[in-house]
């Protein structure tokens, strides 16, 4: 049994929004910007840590930090369209992304992004 093909008016996963070409460009730009900012922070911290290495344990601390951050970033930055609303919500909540960067997305995407970001904020409080 196969899934029906995606068409303009249907999608094989009923709960997933359809991303237009222009929305895909906006999403990719926002995603890459947030990822770039987070990686820049990791680079700065790694440089700081590396400049303070005095003994072998400091080297392994740096290695541990980089491994942990890589795992966190790999889990967080998932560019599957089926996951992007959650990814963007988390990035908004963490203030790694500004809502203005999502300007141009339709409400069928912005509403769940805002809602989930609000949920994350309330859950953390």
Q: What is the pLDDT of residues 98-115, one digit of tens each?
A: 999 999 999 999 999 999
Q: How far apart are CA 31 and CA 96, in angstroms?
A: 10
Per-residue pLDDT tens digits for 41-100: 999 999 999 999 999 999 999 999 999 999 999 999 999 999 999 999 999 999 999 999
Per DSSP, the three-state class of 78 is: coil
Q: How confident is the model at residue 5 (pLDDT cuts 50, 70, 90)?
A: low
Residue 26 is encoded by which pair of tokens?
């906006």
The structure tokens 């910007």 sit at 33
Distance CA 86, CA 93 (A): 10
Query: Please, what is the average pLDDT of the chain?
Result: 91
């Amino acid at each position: 049994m196969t899934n029906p093909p995606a068409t303009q008016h249907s999608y094989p996963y009923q709960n997933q929004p359809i991303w237009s070409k222009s929305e895909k460009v906006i999403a990719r730009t926002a995603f890459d910007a947030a990822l770039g900012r987070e990686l820049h922070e990791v680079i700065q911290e790694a440089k700081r840590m590396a400049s303070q290495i005095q003994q072998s344990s400091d080297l392994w601390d740096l290695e541990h930090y980089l491994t942990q951050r890589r795992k966190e970033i790999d889990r967080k930055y998932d560019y599957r369209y089926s996951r992007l609303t959650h990814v963007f919500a988390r990035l908004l909540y963490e203030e790694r992304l500004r809502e203005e960067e999502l300007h141009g997305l339709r409400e069928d995407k912005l509403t769940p992004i805002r809602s989930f970001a609000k949920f994350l904020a309330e859950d953390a409080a």
